[in-house]
Amino acid sequence: MYYRSAIESNSSCVQEFIAKKRTFEDTLSSMTILSWIFGVGDRHLQNIMYNTRDGGVCAVDWATIFKYGRRELPPARLTANLLAVCDVKVLESRLQQLLLFLRNNKKTFETFLKTSFYWLGPEFKELKYINKILRGETVSYTITRECLEESEIKNKDKYIALLDDLFQDFASKDTYTVEEQISYLLRQCIHPSILSVTRSGWEAWI
C-alpha cells in the first residue's frame, strides 16, 4: 500500500522502519480509541498528521466531536492503506490495553471530562455514551445504531439495515468484556461495507 511504501522509503534501514511501525501502531491505537470514545468518528489521511521522524500519527480537526453515528458510520476509518503498516493482532492488543486502562480508571477520566467540558453542564448528554463504554455496558454498534435512530439524516434506515446485517451475530448483554468491545469496534472500523459509506463527492482514501 502507498502509505507503507512512503514510510519504508523514508526509513534509512530496516531497524528504523520497524521502530516507526511500532510507534505507528501505538499512536494509531490511541487515536482510534479516542475517536470512538469522543464520538469523533471518521479519520482519514486528510485529518491525520504523520511524524516523519518517529512514525507517530495524531488526529486533527475534531469539529465532529460527540457526533458518534450521526456523522459517520465508522467510529474510526481503518482502511487497508493504514492497516498495511500494522500487524492487526498487535493493533487489537494495543486497543485492548488502552480500553482496559480507561475502564480501570473511569472515575478519574470522568472527572477529567466534566472539568474539560464544564460549559456543557455536569451531566452533558454525550457523557452517557462515554460512561457506558467505560463501564463495559455498550459497544460501538449499539451506540451508532441508537444515534442513527434518534437522528433525521437521509437514508438512516438503510444505514441501520447495513449495520444490522454486519452484526447479525450480535448478542445484547448487560456487560461486555474489553475483548468483546474491541472486537466489535474493529469490525465496524475495518469492514468494507461500512467504509464504503461516504458523503457525496468526498474521497475517503479507501
| Predicted confidence (pLDDT) per residue in 64-121, tens digit | 788 887 778 899 889 888 899 999 999 999 999 999 999 999 999 988 888 888 888 7
Domain that holds residue 112: 2-195
How high is the pLDDT of residue 34?
Answer: 92
Whether 167 maps to a domain, the answer reads yes
How high is the pLDDT of residue 3?
Answer: 80
Each residue's pLDDT expressed in tens, for the chain with a length of 206 residues: 678 998 999 899 999 999 999 999 999 999 999 999 998 876 666 778 889 999 999 888 777 788 887 778 899 889 888 899 999 999 999 999 999 999 999 999 988 888 888 888 777 777 889 999 999 999 999 999 999 999 888 889 999 999 999 999 999 999 999 999 999 999 999 999 998 887 665 655 54
Whether 204 maps to a domain, the answer reads no
* Percentage helix, strand, coil for the chain under 3-state DSSP, each rounded to 5: 55, 5, 40
> What total number of domains does the chain contain?
1
Whether 90 maps to a domain, the answer reads yes
Q: What percentage of the chain exceeds 70 in pLDDT?
A: 94
Asked if 199 contacts 38 with a C-beta cutoff of 8 angstroms, the reply is: no
Q: Find, among 144, 195, 148, 197, the residue nearest to 170 by Cα.
A: 144
pTM (2 decimals)?
Answer: 0.91
How high is the pLDDT of residue 46?
Answer: 73
Whether 22 maps to a domain, the answer reads yes
Running DSSP on this structure, what letter comes out for residue 85?
T
Whether 206 maps to a domain, the answer reads no
